[in-house]
Chain A
Amino acid sequence: ILNVEQSPQSLHVQEGDSTNFTCSFPSSNFYALHWYRWETAKSPEALFVMTLNGDEKKKGRISATLNTKEGYSYLYIKGSQPEDSATYLCDLSGGSYIPTFGRGTSLIVHP
């Protein structure tokens, strides 16, 4: 089973800062990469699904890119707000991957 790696494990930023974190994978033999947002005491919710090298997705201040040739996806948050505080997870589906999550990146945005 191939696993994804996420970095950093945790991140503290000030309100208004922009930030990004990484999901890396050893093989591009998958169909889709998924980003999830997971708030404390709630269930993970899907943010983005990306399938093609060079894919870029955007939802408000949050965007994501996919580079299958170099084996990573970035999630960007522009102008972080306290309500962005959550754990952000990625996983892959199809191909060599059984859906499984890494530890995620825990983002805390300080007012």
Chain B
Amino acid sequence: EAQVTQNPRYLITVTGKKLTVTCSQNMNHEYMSWYRQDPGLGLRQIYYSMNVEVTDKGDVPEGYKVSRKEKRNFPLILESPSPNQTSLYFCASKSERVAGDTQYFGPGTRLTVL
């Protein structure tokens, strides 16, 4: 089954404790992206990647890091989480080979930073 998976789905942590949210897709997509969703603000892009070893900042990259060492994986790293990073996070992917392909979303990760 074609899908985007994220882990963990729920996470409660404390300020300053490094964490990684994993994202994996099995559709051989070139493009992957991370978004955060906050009430009244829609989906805001954190980072995106057009292919392996190619990443770029989105609208709200501060406090986050990403890596794209393999095509299927695009982990989101919070080196020192803060309470303002409490949010719902979505990973998405799409094909760059299929012109106009839609984005496929993971199930979301709800993160709470105390």
By a beta-carbon cutoff of 8 Å, the part of chain A in contact with chain B is 31-32, 34, 36, 43-46, 49, 51, 87, 89, 91, 93-94, 98-104
Partner of B100, one of A43, A44, A49, A101: A49
B103 touches A99 (CB 8 A): yes
Summed over the interface, the residue pairs from A and B with CB atoms below 8 Å come to a total of 54
Interface status of B59 (Cβ within 8 A of chain A):
yes
List of A residues within 8 angstroms of B94 by Cβ:
93, 99
C-beta contact mask, B28-52 vs A, less than 8 Å → 1, else 0? Answer: 0001010100001111010010000
Interface status of B61 (Cβ within 8 A of chain A):
no
Q: A43-B105, A99-B33, A100-B58 are in contact. Are A31 and B99 (CB under 8 A)?
A: yes
Q: A32-B99, A99-B33 are in contact. Are A43 and B90 (CB under 8 A)?
A: yes
- Chain B interface size range: 20 to 34
A45 to B104 Cα, complex, angstroms: 7
List of B residues within 8 angstroms of A51 by Cβ:
100
List of A residues within 8 angstroms of B56 by Cβ:
98
Q: A99-B94, A100-B58, A101-B42 are in contact. Are A43 and B102 (CB under 8 A)?
A: no
A9 to B45 Cα, complex, angstroms: 18
A49 touches B42 (CB 8 A): no
B102 touches A46 (CB 8 A): yes
A43 touches B42 (CB 8 A): no
By a beta-carbon cutoff of 8 Å, the part of chain B in contact with chain A is 31, 33, 35, 40-43, 45, 48, 56, 58-59, 90, 94, 99-103, 105-108
A94 touches B100 (CB 8 A): yes
Q: Name the distance in Å between B111's Cβ and chain A's nearest Cβ.
A: 15
Partner of A34, one of B41, B43, B99, B103: B103
Q: A32-B100, A87-B42 are in contact. Are A98 and B48 (CB under 8 A)?
A: yes
**Interchain Cβ contacts under 8 Å between A and B, 22 examples:** A32-B100, A34-B102, A44-B90, A44-B103, A44-B105, A46-B102, A46-B103, A49-B100, A51-B100, A89-B42, A89-B43, A91-B103, A93-B94, A94-B99, A99-B31, A100-B45, A101-B35, A101-B42, A101-B43, A101-B45, A104-B42, A104-B43
